[in-house]
Chains A and B, each alone.
Chain A
Amino acid sequence: MIVQIEVNNKIIKARKGETIMSALSSAGIMIPSICSMKDFTPTGACRMCVVEVEGRQGLVPSCSQPVSEWMNIKTHSPRVVKSRKTIVELLLSNHPDDCLYCERNGNCELQILAEELNVRERRIMGKKNKYKLDHSSPSIVRDPAKCILCGRCVRVCEEKLSVFAIDFVNRGNRTLIGTAFNKDLNFSSCINCGQCIMVCPTGALFEKDSLPEIEDALNNPEKTVIVQYAPSVGVSLAEEFGIRQGKDISGLINAALRKIGFDRIFDTAFAADIAVVEMANELLSLKGNKDRRPLISGSCPAWVKFAEQWYPDLLPAMSSCKSPQQILGAILKSRYPGVSGIDAATVYSVAVAPCTAKKFEAQREEMTKKGLSDIDAVITTRELAKLIKLYGIDMNQIEPEAADEPYGIRSSAGKLFGASGGMAEGIIRSLPYAAGAKEPSRIKYQELRGGRGRKEAEIRIGKTTYRFAVINGMSDAVNLIEEIQAGKCEYDFIEIMACAGGCVNGGGQPIGTGDNAVRTRVKALYGIDEKETIRCAHKNPEIKELYDNYLGSPMSEKCKSLLHTSYSERKVLL
């Protein structure tokens, strides 16, 4: 039903039941807000979005108040503007004054609000926040001094990820966001996914900086610095340079990385192809083994930590196959030195990931062999943008280049790993081949694509049917795990990604670009798949070469020692 409301002396139409804020936004009126988040129930806590409603004594939070017929609203009356401005002034009163040195300088919501509301002097003097920086996590740094207590991180962690690592601690002006017993983040149940960073309006949460060590390696003539970048990075980085959202700029990234001085540039999607082949064979080998059913993917390090903490009984069902990043890392320090004639000890292996949990994964003990870790440093998409800017490369002027051989060759199935459902689609394409067939029965699995929380598909090979499920985001995983534990699960393979939408929406992606950006990234990935000639992982010629001349057959002893791992229960404060 449509109702009419009067806003700033003009009549506009609104849907009955929608909030004032949503009606105003359809009418082109922007209302500032700090605590409200799309897809979350409003809390009305920050009071930035207040408006004046005729007949109401106090100001009304527009994010939570539904419209009613002939409501008379003033959105920018002097009283409203003064109230909003005072809130910003109060938030700034105890906020550190180090904008210039802040991680989020230029991309800070508090800064923008202060600018929009024309706060140009410090009217309210407060005691500055002083807290110690929490550097304990390998992925995420917390700076409570910059926290404005909007609570978005708490809600994302709780409602989207079901992790509950942080909450409001203490009361009144001593309130802060903290973990249980105010421990450092690495003792908490944090799974390092970085979604809290994505919603933080200020510089209170950001990823651990790995750029200095990479610069050191680049400047060290004795090191061979090899870089790989994840499938979703190529379709996400464009936004950081004002190039069209969702454009695949992998060619430009190759060129930029080469100009920065990386000695070799490879594509993580190559290793995703290996992961597909390994997991397809692992799946086949398990059919009929009731104890290890379903097979659950272990490529998402945030999900792996989640399972290690809460569901150690599920770990035997977890695929032993490492994630593509770690697979390529392992190959770069074992096979690659042999073919290229460089010493494995001088290889410095960098991965660019859309994810902060990948930083955690790279430093796991299991990911080290003979004292050499598979990956030496992981940087996020955001850090890559910083690195490119640091080296003064104009992304709008350079020409695209190809990645290096041999590990720059990939199938589009590997590329699909960047989107939720992509890994399952890759495996389902290659499964018939692993079972002995020549050609895949079908290429496109529309039912595994899209934003639903759980997606399903099945494939018949001979007399057996394999059921696939894709879990899109952690909160949906919890429901499925309950089914597994109750013995009600009928799936053979389950792909689980902690972030809704998959890696394209990871915690290391550009901040503040919104849902639309994520959709264009997914579209770009599937667009690449449509145009590609090699669309199945097992058809990647370089993979064939690697198996024939080095690894042997899939799931061979060599593969198991290099590309597979195991997980065990992790004790943290739950």
Chain B
Amino acid sequence: MDDQTSVILSRYPRGHRDCLIPILQDIQQEYGYLSESSVTEISRYLGLPSSKIFGLATFYNQFRFEPRGRFHIRICHGTSCHVSSASEIIKELGKKLRIAPGEISRDGMFSLELVACMGACHLAPLMQVNDNYHTKLDSGSINDIIDSYIEGED
């Protein structure tokens, strides 16, 4: 077992299935996603079948099952962003990155996540790339923003 996973699990009592959600949150915090191996570990620790854990985790939007890219993009699709045509931005991002929300690009550079609201409605529509915020977006600006990250890495 991965050391970090066992450290996280050891904070919770063995076999207590009511601890499942906090454990999943901690694991995701640590690794950025829930991997097959970590779900198997949790399953063994709590005595809970992995199909049940997967079923529960997919019920919530907060859990992801693919690793994050080096640049994790969170794009807001809350009410304010939606009325400021966030859908267009999301479409544009999908076209540029060739991934759908919840996925990661093949080179592992970008991953995309839809979030409900980031609490900055006066700056809508907005997205967060790692710790940077890009606000008052329009579909024309997406290309340049993404390119700046690609160039920054080169």
The reply to whether chain A is a binding partner of chain B is: yes
Contact between A573 and B36 (Cβ–Cβ < 8 Å)? yes
Contact between A164 and B40 (Cβ–Cβ < 8 Å)? no
Interface 1/0s, chain B 31-51, versus A by CB < 8 A?
000001001100100000111
| Chain B residue contacts of A19, Cβ below 8 A | none
Q: Which of A135-143, A167-175, A367-375, A382-390 contacts B (4 or more CB under 8 A)?
A: A167-175
**Interface bracket on A:** 10 to 19
| Chain A residue contacts of B52, Cβ below 8 A | 164, 167
Q: Is A381 an interface residue (CB 8 A)?
A: no
CB distance from B28 to the nearest CB of A (A): 15
Q: Which of B16-24, B53-61, B121-129 contacts A (4 or more CB under 8 A)?
A: B53-61
Kindly name the residue among A170, A178, A181, A182 whose own CB sees the greatest number of chain B CB atoms within 10 A: A181
Contact between B58 and A574 (Cβ–Cβ < 8 Å)? no
Among B40, B55, B58, the residue within 8 A (CB) of A573 is: B40
Contact between B59 and A573 (Cβ–Cβ < 8 Å)? no
Q: Is B65 an interface residue (CB 8 A)?
A: yes
Q: Is A500 an interface residue (CB 8 A)?
A: no
Contact between B49 and A169 (Cβ–Cβ < 8 Å)? no
Chain A: CB-nearest residue to B57:
A169
- Give the complex CA separation of A574 and B47 in angstroms: 10
Contact between B36 and A171 (Cβ–Cβ < 8 Å)? no
Q: Is A166 an interface residue (CB 8 A)?
A: yes
Chain A: CB-nearest residue to B56:
A167
CB distance from A296 to the nearest CB of B (A): 23
CB distance from B66 to the nearest CB of A (A): 11
Among B39, B40, B43, B58, the residue within 8 A (CB) of A169 is: B58
Knowing A166-B51, A169-B54, A574-B49 touch, does A181 contact B59 (C-beta < 8 A)?
A: no
Q: Is A180 an interface residue (CB 8 A)?
A: yes
| Chain B residue contacts of A170, Cβ below 8 A | 58-59
Contact between A168 and B55 (Cβ–Cβ < 8 Å)? yes
Contact between A180 and B59 (Cβ–Cβ < 8 Å)? no
Knowing A181-B65, A574-B50 touch, does A167 contact B55 (C-beta < 8 A)?
A: yes
Contact between A171 and B58 (Cβ–Cβ < 8 Å)? yes
Chain A: CB-nearest residue to B61:
A171
Contact between B36 and A181 (Cβ–Cβ < 8 Å)? yes
Knowing A181-B54, A574-B40 touch, does A189 contact B49 (C-beta < 8 A)?
A: yes
- Give the complex CA separation of A179 and B55 in angstroms: 8
Knowing A180-B39, A181-B36, A181-B39 touch, does A165 contact B59 (C-beta < 8 A)?
A: no
Among A171, A178, A574, the residue within 8 A (CB) of B43 is: A574
Among B39, B51, B55, B60, the residue within 8 A (CB) of A188 is: B51
- Give the complex CA separation of A178 and B51 in angstroms: 8
CB distance from B1 to the nearest CB of A (A): 15
Chain B: CB-nearest residue to A573:
B50
- Give the complex CA separation of A573 and B43 in angstroms: 10
Interface 1/0s, chain A 170-198, versus B by CB < 8 A?
11000000111110000011000000000
B108-154 CB contacts (< 8 Å) to partner A? none
5 A-B residue contacts at CB 8 Å?
Answer: A169-B55, A178-B54, A180-B50, A181-B54, A573-B36
Could you list which residues of chain A lie within 8 angstroms of chain B, going by C-beta atoms?
164-171, 178-182, 188-189, 573-574
